[in-house]
Amino acid sequence: MSILAINSGSSSLKFGLFDAGTLEPLVEGDIDWAQGDRGQAKFTLRPQTGGQMTSLLSVPDDFAAAQCAVNAILNSGPPGGNGRVKVTVVGHRVVHGGAEFRDSVLIDDRVKGGIAGLNKLAPLHNPPLLKAIEAVEKSLPGVPQVAVFDTAFFAHLPPKAFLYALPYEYYERWGIRRFGFHGLSHGYCVGRAAELVGRPLSELRVISCHLGGGCSAAAVRGGEAIATTLGFSPLEGLMMGTRPGSVDPGILLHLQREHGLTVEELDRALNYSSGLLGISGVSSDLAQIETAAAQGNERARLAFDMFADRVRAAVGALAATMGGVDALTFTDRIGEHSAALRAAACEGLSFMGLCLDPERNADPKPDTDVARPDSAARVFVIHTQEELMVAREARRVMAAQAQSLQSR
Catalytic annotation, pick one of 30, 108, 109, 150: 150
383 by Cβ neighbours in 10 Å (0-12 / 13-18 / 19+) ranks as middle
Whether 150 is catalytic is yes
The burial of 63, by beta-carbon neighbours within 10 Å (0-12 exposed, 13-18 middle, 19 or more buried), is given as middle
Catalytic residue list: 150
